[in-house]
């Protein structure tokens, strides 16, 4: 089978464009209505969603489909939204710190952002953070901000100075989400990362894609989402786990290296390996 052949007449490029159009809409009926106005039937849309998600998850393809899809989706999303909002690193930390306290929806409402805008913001910083030592403390800073909010503090206003916005990297996209959202494997880069990239994805095709990685890329349960599972053997290489990302989404992964210095290396369905804080990982029984 040719992994790039169209599904129900919908190519990967077209699928990325359609995914951008339905980003932020989780109701299948409304998604069908949106793509219907673009000349795609509900049946074809469902077939394309299921088929492309399956290819992104196919281990034999080594994440090639997801890797090609990401920039296509991000570019389509940027075109639809008129470009990604420019925010500084400090602003991104402030927004990320709100997610574990008030939820992604609450954070978006507070800062008056759409799902599409957040996807682009997170996609940008998630690709930059792993490449610059200046941002290595991202995970710690997000935890500190979440703790400040839990103690009664108020969300910080944006544009208050601090690290300037990094040069815009080539578009990085989250992957498609269940039908609704894009697949965002921390496509991403790893915001936790002291070393690697993060998968962001606001909605989660990754949900279906990563075995339902959390409504797409719906990125990683505790301040960066999750709770540490102390079960014996939970973090041995080969163990199945759930990683909670800073944007509030949770993604299925497999431990690839035992914990070291408070971090665990995990592998995602799209082939990426990322070191994440141990507290953001829990066993997936």
- 21-54 confidence digits (pLDDT tens): 998 787 889 999 999 999 999 999 999 999 998 8
Find, among 130, 117, 129, 119, the residue nearest to 90 by Cα.
Answer: 129
Max CA pair span of the chain: 56
Taking the C-alpha atoms of residue 107 and residue 96, their distance in angstroms, rounded to an integer, is: 8
Q: For residue 159, what pLDDT is reported?
A: 81
- Residue 247 in contact with residue 207, Cβ under 8 Å? no
b/e burial code for range 172-198 (CB count within 10 A of at least 16 → b) = bbbbbbbbbbbbbbbbbbbbbbbbbbb
Residue 198, domain extent: 1-285
End-to-end CA distance of the chain: 33
Taking the C-alpha atoms of residue 150 and residue 106, their distance in angstroms, rounded to an integer, is: 14
Number of domains in the chain: 1
Q: Cα 176 to chain center, whole Å? A: 10
Where is pLDDT greater, at 164 or 46?
Answer: 46
Mean pLDDT of the chain, nearest integer? 71
Q: What is the dihedral of CA 33, 85, 269, 72, to 10 degrees?
A: 60
Q: Is the pTM value of this prediction over 0.75?
A: no
Give the model confidence (pLDDT) of 51-107 as tens digits.
998 888 787 877 788 778 878 887 888 888 776 678 999 999 999 999 999 998 999
The upper half-sphere exposure of residue 92, i.e. CA atoms within 13 Å in the direction of its Cβ, equals 31
Q: Cα 258 to chain center, whole Å? A: 24
């Amino acid at each position: 089978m040719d992994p790039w052949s169209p599904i129900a007449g919908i190519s990967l490029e077209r699928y990325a464009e359609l995914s951008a159009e339905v980003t932020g809409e989780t109701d299948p009926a409304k998604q069908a209505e949106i793509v219907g106005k673009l000349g795609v039937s509900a049946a074809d849309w469902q077939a394309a969603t299921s088929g492309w998600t399956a290819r992104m998850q196919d281990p034999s393809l080594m994440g090639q489909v997801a890797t090609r899809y990401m920039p296509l989706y991000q570019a389509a999303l940027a075109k639809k939204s008129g470009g990604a909002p420019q925010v500084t690193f400090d602003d991104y930390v402030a927004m990320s710190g709100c997610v574990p306290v008030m939820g992604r929806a609450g954070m978006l409402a507070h800062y008056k952002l759409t799902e599409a805008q957040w996807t682009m913001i997170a996609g940008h910083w998630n690709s930059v953070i792993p490449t610059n030592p200046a941002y290595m403390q991202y995970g710690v800073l997000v935890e500190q901000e979440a703790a400040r909010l839990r103690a009664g503090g108020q969300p910080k206003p944006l544009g208050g100075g601090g690290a300037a916005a990094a040069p815009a990297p080539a578009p990085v996209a989250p992957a498609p989400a269940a039908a609704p959202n894009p697949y965002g494997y921390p496509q991403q880069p790893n915001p936790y990362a002291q070393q690697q990239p993060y998968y962001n994805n606001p909605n989660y095709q990754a949900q279906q894609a990563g075995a339902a990685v959390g409504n797409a890329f719906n990125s990683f349960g505790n301040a960066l989402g999750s709770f540490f599972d102390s079960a014996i053997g939970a973090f041995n290489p080969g163990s199945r786990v759930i990683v909670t990302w800073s944007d509030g989404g949770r993604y299925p992964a497999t431990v690839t290296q035992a914990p070291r210095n408070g971090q665990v290396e995990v592998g995602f369905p799209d082939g990426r390996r990322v070191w994440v804080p141990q507290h953001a990982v829990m066993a997936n029984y």
